[in-house]
């Protein structure tokens, strides 16, 4: 079958993009390597849109939860993934969880109902040199294609491991305990939030890192080397009492204005998005269990009441430095016939991957029909996610991220307790406006 758009990868993003295109009458070829005898280390079936781990799409609460809001917005856009999830739903309280086999079968059934969509079981080994293409090969993109993407983007811009440092909501940091400064007061601006520690606090913190329960690497991840520069903090702690004080907790050149001296150790946070709502803990990638991270990081002066937009982690994960490489329409700046979608763009999670697939499908449909793509407003969950990936995130520290309210333009004038509902109400109104004009 002749096709207008070639989608590579039949996971959550690729299937959603294919659906959005096909239902607009555009001919699609969807290439999926599973079914040829080949599978990634995490996939266990040949079914499209396989959920590789949990069977949950997380919270379905569209009034107080950012991912629940994303569900709502995707449903408004006739999302395949959300429709199949409804059919496959199993009881899970306020979460949207599914029977994974029923879910995958429903995705396949709906795609098969589209005569202008052909699913081809084949592995693609290089970026196509022409023709509208969407690459949705996910965090475990097959090796040859990953090499081809690396060659097109520059090896430094394609990561094979994430090194996720926790991210804190700025308005939960106690600035009475911290101060803003750059090391040696370099530059005209004070770019870092510095949380000072005395010797006793530092030693107790290091003990906490050593004792804390860690997540193990999966068997197939263990052989993927990570750079020394991205070492987990607990591994640094194991190397010696002072290793952290010579690494991410180095206090030199940081005069604490309250004492006039350098602290014994310091935890630094750096702005993570243009809005200034999210700050990452510099160099704090970790394999500590999430509960341990929250408990231990709240012992850091200034972070006692910290709310985390993201906790730390390290996994096998192929993803692009999207804010640097992609334009506002997810196209590779150096080869605009290639668009990326799903987790490979640096979003994180089943729902976010499908949502980026949905938008990539809409963008490609507009491009095919000569229309002008109008992006969803940044006050919507779709728009906030897209803005983060393509523009707002800090390229130098770009790491995968779930959708969260820290990505939305802030509503500082609304009382904290009412903010989540205010975000979702504003988003729903903005989405309606967008759907009417788009």
Ligand X SMILES: Cc1cc2nc3c(=O)[nH]c(=O)nc-3n(C[C@H](O)[C@H](O)[C@H](O)COP(=O)(O)OP(=O)(O)OC[C@H]3O[C@@H](n4cnc5c(N)ncnc54)[C@H](O)[C@@H]3O)c2cc1C
Which residue, 293, 290, 349, 294, is CA-closest to 317?
349
User: Helix H segments across 340-418?
Assistant: 350-368, 381-387
Please report the beta strands in 43-106, taking only residues with DSSP state E, as ranges in sequence order.
56-59, 89-90, 95-98
Minimum Å gap between C-beta 209 and ligand X is 25
Using CB under 6 A, which residues numbered 108 to 137 contact ligand X?
Answer: 123-124, 136-137
Distance CA 316, CA 216 (A): 12
Which residue, 370, 334, 274, 397, is CA-closest to 153?
334
The count of C-alpha atoms lying within 13 angstroms of the C-alpha of 257, restricted to the half-sphere facing its C-beta, is 12
Q: Is 42 in the site for ligand X (CB under 6 A)?
A: yes
Minimum Å gap between C-beta 39 and ligand X is 7
Q: Which two tokens stand for residue 214?
A: 């860690």
User: Helix H segments across 154-279?
Assistant: 199-211, 233-239, 243-246
Q: Is 313 in the site for ligand X (CB under 6 A)?
A: no
Q: Which stretch binds ligand X (CB under 6 A): 8-16, 84-92, 149-157, 208-216?
A: 8-16
Q: Is 8 in the site for ligand X (CB under 6 A)?
A: yes
Q: Is 10 in the site for ligand X (CB under 6 A)?
A: yes
CB 384 within 8 A of CB 403: yes
At 135, which helix (H) or strand (E)?
strand 132-135
Minimum Å gap between C-beta 374 and ligand X is 24
Q: Is 31 in the site for ligand X (CB under 6 A)?
A: yes
Length of the chain: 438
CB of 237 or CB of 347, closer to ligand X: 347
Q: Which stretch binds ligand X (CB under 6 A): 97-105, 195-203, 341-349, 388-396?
A: 341-349
Distance CA 151, CA 158 (A): 9
Q: Is 203 in the site for ligand X (CB under 6 A)?
A: no
Q: Is 104 in the site for ligand X (CB under 6 A)?
A: no
Minimum Å gap between C-beta 432 and ligand X is 27
Q: Which two tokens stand for residue 174?
A: 């106690």
Contact residue for ligand X among 212, 263, 349, 361 (CB under 6 A): 349
Q: Which stretch binds ligand X (CB under 6 A): 39-47, 231-239, 261-269, 319-327?
A: 39-47
Spatial neighbors of 165 by CB under 8 A, at least 6 apart, are 280, 281, 282, 283, 284, 285, 286, 312, 397, 399
C-alpha to C-alpha distances, 138 to 28, 357, 410, nearest whole angstrom: 19, 11, 31
Minimum Å gap between C-beta 194 and ligand X is 33
Q: Which stretch binds ligand X (CB under 6 A): 29-37, 92-100, 105-113, 390-398?
A: 29-37
By CB under 6 A, the count of residues binding ligand X is: 33
Contact residue for ligand X among 5, 12, 127, 178 (CB under 6 A): 12
Q: Is 434 in the site for ligand X (CB under 6 A)?
A: no
Binding site for ligand X (CB under 6 A): 8-14, 31-34, 40, 42-43, 52-54, 123-124, 136-142, 145, 342-344, 349-350, 353
């Amino acid at each position: 079958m002749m096709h207008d758009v070639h989608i590579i990868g039949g996971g959550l993003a690729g299937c959603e993009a294919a659906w959005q295109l096909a239902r607009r009458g555009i001919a699609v070829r969807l290439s999926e390597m599973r079914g040829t005898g080949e599978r990634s280390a995490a996939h266990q079936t040949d079914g499209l849109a396989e959920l590789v781990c949990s069977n949950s799409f997380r919270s379905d609460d569209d009034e107080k939860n950012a991912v629940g809001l994303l569900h709502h917005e995707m449903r408004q856009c006739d999302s395949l993934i959300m429709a199949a999830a409804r059919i496959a739903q199993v009881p899970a309280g306020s979460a949207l969880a599914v029977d994974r086999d029923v879910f995958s079968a429903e995705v396949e059934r709906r795609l098969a109902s589209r005569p202008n969509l052909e699913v081809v079981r084949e592995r693609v080994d290089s970026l196509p040199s022409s023709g509208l293409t969407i690459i949705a090969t996910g965090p475990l993109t097959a090796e040859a294609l990953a090499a081809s993407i690396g060659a097109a983007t520059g090896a430094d811009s394609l990561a094979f491991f994430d090194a996720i440092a926790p991210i804190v909501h700025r308005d939960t940091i106690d600035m009475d305990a911290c101060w803003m400064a750059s090391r040696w007061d370099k530059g005209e601006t004070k770019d870092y939030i510095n949380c000072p520690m005395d010797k006793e606090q530092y030693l107790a913190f290091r003990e906490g890192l050593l004792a804390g329960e860690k997540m193990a690497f999966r068997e197939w991840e263990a052989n993927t080397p990570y750079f020394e520069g991205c070492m987990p903090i607990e591994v640094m702690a194991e190397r010696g009492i002072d290793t952290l004080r010579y690494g991410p907790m180095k206090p030199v050149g940081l005069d604490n204005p309250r004492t006039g001296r350098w602290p014994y150790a310091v935890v630094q946070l750096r702005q993570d998005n243009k809005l200034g709502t999210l700050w990452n803990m510099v160099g704090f990638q970790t394999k500590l269990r999430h509960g341990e991270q929250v408990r231990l990081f709240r012992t850091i002066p200034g972070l006692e009441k910290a709310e985390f937009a993201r906790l730390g982690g390290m996994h096998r994960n192929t993803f692009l430095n999207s804010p640097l490489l992609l334009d506002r329409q997810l196209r590779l700046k150096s080869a605009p016939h290639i668009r990326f979608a799903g987790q490979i763009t640096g979003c994180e999670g089943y729902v976010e991957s499908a949502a980026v697939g949905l938008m990539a499908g809409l963008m490609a449909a507009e491009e095919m029909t000569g229309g002008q793509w109008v992006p969803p407003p940044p006050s919507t969950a779709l728009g906030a996610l897209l803005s983060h990936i393509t523009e707002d995130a800090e390229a130098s520290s770009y790491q995968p991220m779930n959708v969260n309210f820290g990505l939305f333009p802030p509503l500082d004038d609304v009382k904290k307790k009412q903010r989540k509902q205010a975000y979702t109400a504003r988003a729903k109104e903005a989405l309606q406006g967008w759907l009417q004009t788009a």
